[in-house]
A and B are shown apart, each in its own frame.
Chain A
Amino acid sequence: MTDPVLRLSGITKRFGSLVANDSISLELGAGEVLALLGENGAGKSTLVSILFGHYTADAGHISVNGQPLPPGDPRAALAAGIGMVHQHFTLADNLSVLDNVMMGSEPLWQPFTRQRAARDKLLSVAQQFGLTVDPKALVGSLSVGERQRVEILKALYRGARILILDEPTAVLTPQEAEALFAVLGQMVAQGLSIIFICHKLGEVLRVSHRVAVLRGGKLVAQAAAAGTTQAQLAQWMVGHAIAEPVRQPTAHVDSSVVCALQSVSTGSGRERLAQVSLSLHAGEIVAIAGVSGNGQLALAELLCGTRQAQEGRVTYLGQPWPGQPARLVAQGVARIPEDRHAVGVVGDLPLWENAVSERLRTPAFSRWGWVRRQQARAYAQRVMQAFDVRGGGATVLARSLSGGNMQKLILGRALTQPDPSAAHAAAKLIVAHQPTWGLDIGAVAYVQSQLIAARDAGAAVLLISDDLDEVMTLGDRIAVMHAGELTAALPAQDWSRESIGLAMAGVSAGASVADTQEPAHAA
């Protein structure tokens, strides 16, 4: 390799007593894909933010093509050819593709924008890298994969030669991810360099030439992708070997139905359910795969009691669906929402109040409208001990907890009965929406093993996840969501990665439902 296009040397960044980046030195060559690995809090975002000029490093410097990059200046970073594609897109839905791409790169003083020139430039860039788009299309009408293409185009349009991709495959179907990898291949062939931030170790090894692993703000390992393994990468990331949760296949073929949906429709637009039918049996995990935004939220909210069915019928233990959150919790439904911070906890209230919030209206924790604080705090202590919630005592604000501890708190309160003498397995139905999203590997393994344990104790578990690996590891039966419709839930061994990917994209989903309506034909 010739001279590196990008050189970071001795980058250090402190936030108070926390050292987010500890003298990190990295190089990136032309035409190279470097994967940046690390758990949440390892310092990836900080490093990228420094590179892009959002933060100023306390020590160290950056050079691009041998020229020093002025610190703390995003414009300088853009001018030096550094482009960033964020995980959460920064596009305006109500503008066209062309407008989105031009936005911010047009001088303000000229009275008219140069639509035609911009359009020609956009099309030539698109053709150069095999990114087909319609410049006139409204971004709001595009699929997630297409929006990502627009984001990448936006960076390339501004002349990016170094592209930073932050978890680009998190929102894609396997097939869309393949298409992205092909595009990345074209870019690299034309001499662009790519920093690829990702959690999925398999993809990292496939796509990148070199891997750099951060842990606790330090660069702990650098290796050529060709010479390493997933297990090795995981060990570098967490500092010790990880025991993957082992799934034993269940044999609850004829166990009782805990919860059944019959032709349920609700919601509108992207968040809707269209004639969804599903039955959940005791002692099984049913995993719902799908690209997020295809109705999973509607399904989760329905089963968490915060959304009602407009058509169709839901039954629970043979009775009509209780519908309200407090009644659901009282009848043994454990709920884990997708968004811990916005829905799972009230961040500005202390941990102990969050621990009892679901059950506050029961005699165990309130009498005559007054909160029984002693019982509530004792319960919170039990949840914290049983589920290893760390990060301060019962009185710290919930928002100060790390993601993993917050999720353990939510899981713990859902699975812990107010009465200490009651058996652990009182949850009859667990609704878990993206329960491991954004958690570190250790917390992921913990949450997954808790779900498996609850299943083994006889609970019906509904797992809704974007993460195909998680779906395939945990699901006893798997169903796929697309545009509000749900395929039949088939045994995990009847699915392949490819067939799930096709169903996620909505290809032949209708046909597969029709073919497998009757379980007798499914085998």
Chain B
Amino acid sequence: MRLEKRNQSSAVALALAPVGAVGFTLLIASLLVLWAGAPVGQTYALLLKGGFGSVFALSETLTRAIPLMLTGLAAAVAFRARLFNIGAEGQLYMGAMAAVVVGGLHGGTGIDWPVPVLFVLMMAAAALAGALLLLGPALMKARLGVDEVVTTLLLNFIVLLLVSWMLDGPMKDPTAMGWPQSVALNPELELSKLIEQTRLHTGLLWGCALAVLLWLMMKYTVLGFDIRATGANARAAAFAGVPVTRTVVLVAMLSGGLAGLAGAIEVAGRTSYLTLDMSPGYGYSGIVIAMLAGLHPLGVVLGSVFVAGVLVGADSMSRAIGVPTYIADVIVAASLISVLVATLLTQYRVRWRA
């Protein structure tokens, strides 16, 4: 068996690829549901209802989608330039810590400055903290050729240990009765709710706006061209006069900044303080979402809602029918593999004989 490059991807194939990928994913998951001894149709119906079936369900899904959207954008912009940032998880925690430092000092009042100034400062500090965390690996890649996959991945664990230490030390909330959590944010700095009686906050608007901005930048600006050219062929880009090293550093700042913002928005919009389990792997799920979206910023918005819906829906489905919530991880993982294979098949055809 071997793959042959297609001269031209047919429009039908491009349209059918995602449909086939979804179908294959559901098929795989169905087998596991059957194995768990539950009716397949009802399981999917409950999952769908739990993720999207009511205002409450939808609000929970969208709330969950906000950090995923931002880490997804962080991965999408970095991967587009072939900077494989696996460290969004660590950058997210750095951003969250920076937000608490600026907005939660002195037992939750923050620095004694006007709230609007403090809010901007908090967000800027979070973005900067995430960006600086990725700057080192990016420079090491550009200057010394050090593999950024390794450095960014390992930094995640270093940051988690740092957070753990901070939560037991300088940032510890003295009123939390020994729980490892940070002091809370100044309540005036918290993001307002989009829908009353739900947890959905204005971070959603931030995420969508940033996605649109990123899409415009990628498509219409010189920097966007630099990023795409650097990622597609760095040698040719350098030949054409693209400042490749500068582009990689800028992309690192952008990607780390977005992941850092994810942390700050999560603190300011949902938790209001920092804990060690604030992110159930949002940084890693962001990579999956970016790949699902074909690295397209607007696709990341849809992808994050899809993944969040599956996660939230699986929780409620599991409570109702007893299929473990791990089915959500299976669906997300299988959909990623299916989409990658489907994309491959639109570009290559399989020959079974040599």
Contact = CB atoms under 8 A, between A and B. Distances in A.
Contacts of B7: 15-16, 18, 400
A325 B241 CA distance: 5
A56 interface: yes
A351 interface: no
Given A16-B7, A55-B354, A343 B222 contact: no
B221 A346 contact: no
Given A55-B354, A56-B354, A348-B233, A337 B239 contact: yes
A53 interface: yes
Interface string B223-239: 11100110011011111
Interface string B207-221: 000000000000011
B240 interface: yes
Contact of B225 (A56, A326, A347, A371): A371
Contacts, number: 85
B143 interface: no
Contact of A342 (B4, B222, B233, B353): B233
A353 B238 contact: no
A353 B233 CA distance: 13
A203 interface: no
A126 interface: no
Interface residues of A, number: 38
Nearest to B240: A357
A361 B232 contact: no
B240 A371 contact: no
A306 B224 CA distance: 22
A304 B236 CA distance: 12
Interface string A452-465: 00000000000000
Given A304-B239, A306-B239, A358-B240, A346 B220 contact: no
B241 A56 contact: no
A369 B221 contact: yes
Contact of B232 (A72, A325, A348): A348
Contact of A371 (B220, B232, B233): B220
Nearest to B235: A343
A403 interface: no
B241 A357 contact: yes
Interface in B219-272: 220-225, 228-229, 232-233, 235-242
A354 B237 CA distance: 10
Interface in A291-305: 304-305
Nearest to B229: A346
Given A56-B354, A325-B241, A361-B241, A346 B236 contact: yes
Contacts of B238: 306, 325
A325 B239 contact: yes
Contacts of A366: 222
Interface string A34-59: 00000000000000000001111000
Interface string A362-373: 000010011101
A208 B162 CA distance: 74
Interface in A1-56: 15-16, 18, 53-56
A474 interface: no
Nearest to A373: B220
A325 B354 contact: no
A53 B240 contact: no
A479 interface: no
Interface string B1-43: 0001011100000000000000000000000000000000000
Interface of B: 4, 6-8, 220-225, 228-229, 232-233, 235-242, 353-354
Given A325-B238, A371-B222, 11 more contacts: A16-B7, A72-B353, A304-B239, A337-B239, A345-B236, A346-B229, A349-B228, A357-B229, A369-B222, A371-B220, A371-B221
Interface of A: 15-16, 18, 53-56, 72-73, 304-306, 324-326, 329, 335, 337, 342-349, 353-354, 357-358, 360-361, 366, 369-371, 373, 400
Q: 10 closest Cβ contacts across the A-B interface?
A: A326-B241, A325-B241, A357-B240, A348-B232, A72-B354, A346-B233, A346-B236, A346-B232, A343-B239, A366-B222
20 contacts: A15-B7, A53-B354, A56-B353, A56-B354, A73-B354, A326-B241, A346-B232, A346-B240, A347-B236, A348-B233, A349-B229, A354-B240, A357-B229, A357-B237, A357-B241, A357-B242, A369-B223, A371-B224, A373-B220, A400-B8
